[in-house]
Structure 1
Amino acid sequence: MRNKWMPFIYIFAILLIGAAFIDLPYYVMKPGDAHELKPIVEVAGGDKDAGTLMLTTIKMGEANYLSYALAKVRDYEEIIPIEEVRSPHENNEEYNIRQQYLMQNSQQNAIIVAFDAAKKPYSFRYEGVYVLNVFPGMPAEGVLKAGDRIVAIDGKEFKSSQMFTDYIQTKKPGEKVTITFMRNQEKMEKRIALKQFKGNQEKTGIGIGLADQKKLISKPKVTLKAEDIGGPSAGLMFSLEIYNQLVKEDVAKGRKIAGTGTIAPDGTVGRIGGIAQKVVAADRAGAEIFLAPDDKISPELKKQVPGIVSNYEEAVRTAKDIGTKMKIVPVHTFDEALNYLLTRK
């Protein structure tokens, strides 16, 4: 009897293994971890207090048949269409690099906000144009890669990506330019012919998505060890930890504080994705307080996404659903979050 069923068992095992390796046009998002910030953020000569500030993460990966099926039955695992995660023409490698860039930019914003609050000096050094992605069928394809840093065109250095774009627009389709760029700390140089963008006959280029690359120089120096974390959502918590090390007072007052939210240079806290999953992660880590962006939902967005609520409202729902004692605190700005932590026991 056992021999009779063995072929079917083998076939089922092969199908199960295959299902784990066949990607679908979806991503699966699930709770990640709450990371203590003291080992990640280091301010030279800064104070390390008894309290704990934590950033929260989600786990996001391309779906296969197995992970898709599991996400359907597990709590706080969401299935997201790939077009809601990745930009058009963006592959998975480019998506990951964009997330790294967003994290780097978030870290710089966090330093700006914390140093402004602590009245400490900083400055910037422009380092070139950061390549976020390369458009298929355009001249840069096969020459440049996401993550490259363009430092000069035809030997000319620029102080902004806009100046770079303006210079390219002075050229005609078919003309060649010399691109000088850095890749993995190696300086490279290539000649590229310009081409008109499909669907926009007035625009000429090499076909890249780009952003400014600036290095922030601060006194004291700030080092952030967050290579494995992508995206901008840790901005608020980074800024609080940096500020906490710059001043003598313990911002957390001995408590375990978790949270999330983007941070703008002016201290505004912005909406993030995966708030429910981050509340779950914070609760698992034993956080006492969770800082959540209290973003305003515009009428236009409500029409586009019926039922959408602010991060704070969703965080409160999730906290109630999982029965946590963790307090959910709404924040609009860095100053508001800091004031809450300093004035509440």
Structure 2
Amino acid sequence: MRDKKIALGIVLASILLVGSAIVPTGYDVLFADEPIMLDELVDYEDGYELDGEIGMTYVSSLENVGWPYLVLGMLFEEGVDIEPAATEELDIDVEDLHYQYEMMMIQSKIKAEYKAREYMDDSPDLTLTGFYPAYFEPDWKYKNMIKVTDILVAMDGVELESYEQLDQLILEKEPDEKAVLSVMRDGERKDIEVRTYPERDYYNNTFLGMYVEEVFELVEDERISFNIEEIGGPSAGLMLTLTLIEKMTEESLLKGNKVAGTGTIEMDGFVGPIGGVKQKVIGADLAGYEYFLVPEDNDYGNNEEIAKQTVKGEGLSIKLIPVGSLEEAVAELKKLPENK
């Protein structure tokens, strides 16, 4: 009888362990990982060889993990954080979240090529085709009427030509006021009636309950190619741009140094904040990078502060270079010492 009870206990424990492994905890586990060298992933035909190394940082993660993996993740010593699952926080399916990440990377490549060619006094032919949904307020009751694959092209019958125009159309409305959004869905135009968010934002402005990002199309330079797959998000923008500039110009910005970094790149050259700065700085330091380009603190994020706290708290040797624009990033790299 005693042996049967022991055997039954083992079976029940096994069932609980296996079951807990597939039950989501509502948390993501973020890991520090080594940067990806961009030399072979960003190509410019007949361009110059990199005199040094540029690393694109990223964060490895386990999404909405089961309990055993959550516990195992906590056992890692360096660069691990446990955060509320993005899918739970945003109330979004993992497939939709990954689609948004993919769209962000596509647009990052377009912006990187545009800014690099602009740096070379080229005039790329760029067209705004609409806006894709990047974030929904979880309690905006109309969010399920919009698909992440929709492209917003008009509001209240007004064709959208810029982000500023869309913003102004929203600001002119009151909270909880009707708005008709025209979207392209599966190749067809569809009008969707929603209402603005019922409360004003932190700045006392009306907002939609859905935040969007531009969708650009670019007449591409056939000499430029990006061989980056299975990595999403907007945080590679700055480093992709700098890699292209380095390959397009005879003068080396790197001068034999190993430089990693992160940050979005916008059409006006603004470098924006991203997530996972702690893991990215630690990963770059572990991989032996000497310098780390980080978005400077602004109204949109405190990447610089987090990076400084990480370097100090973890005792890292990597040197931080805060930048707010592509122009600043280029200027700071030109200041680097020769490292032959």
When normalised by structure 1's length, the TM-score is 0.73
Relative distance call for 1:265 and 1:315 in structure 2 (3 A) is: farther
SS in 1 for 2:26: strand
Matched, 1:334 2:332: no
* Inter-partner Cα distance in structure 1 for 2:221 and 2:142: 42
Correspondence list, 1:209-220, <5 A: 209-217=211-219, 219=221
Deviates more, 1:239-248 or 1:89-98: 89-98
Structure 2 counterpart of 1:192:
192
Relative distance call for 1:207 and 1:117 in structure 2 (3 A) is: closer
* Inter-partner Cα distance in structure 2 for 1:297 and 1:152: 31
Instruction: Name the amino acid aligned to 1:190.
Output: K
Query: Paired residue for 2:134, among 120, 132, 135?
Result: 132
Correspondence list, 1:106-255, <5 A: 106-133=108-135, 138=141, 141-142=144-145, 144-151=146-153, 157-161=159-163, 163=165, 179-182=182-185, 186-195=186-195, 197-199=197-199, 208-217=210-219, 219=221, 222-254=224-256
Instruction: Name the amino acid aligned to 2:310.
Output: E
Instruction: Name the amino acid aligned to 1:192.
Output: I
Correspondence list, 1:55-66, <5 A: 55-60=56-61, 61-66=63-68
When normalised by structure 2's length, the TM-score is 0.74
SS in 1 for 2:144: coil
* Inter-partner Cα distance in structure 2 for 1:206 and 1:297: 23
Alignment: residue pair count: 326
* Inter-partner Cα distance in structure 2 for 1:205 and 1:331: 31
Gaps of at least 5 residues in structure 2 are: none
* Inter-partner Cα distance in structure 1 for 2:197 and 2:48: 52
Question: Aligned-residue CA RMSD in angstroms?
Answer: 4.2
Q: Is the 8 A contact 2:281 2:307 kept in 1?
A: no
* Inter-partner Cα distance in structure 2 for 1:148 and 1:13: 45
Q: Is the 8 A contact 2:132 2:149 kept in 1?
A: yes
Query: Paired residue for 2:80, among 77, 87, 91?
Result: 77
Matched, 1:35 2:30: no
* Inter-partner Cα distance in structure 1 for 2:140 and 2:276: 34
* Inter-partner Cα distance in structure 2 for 1:344 and 1:208: 47
Structure 2 counterpart of 1:261:
263
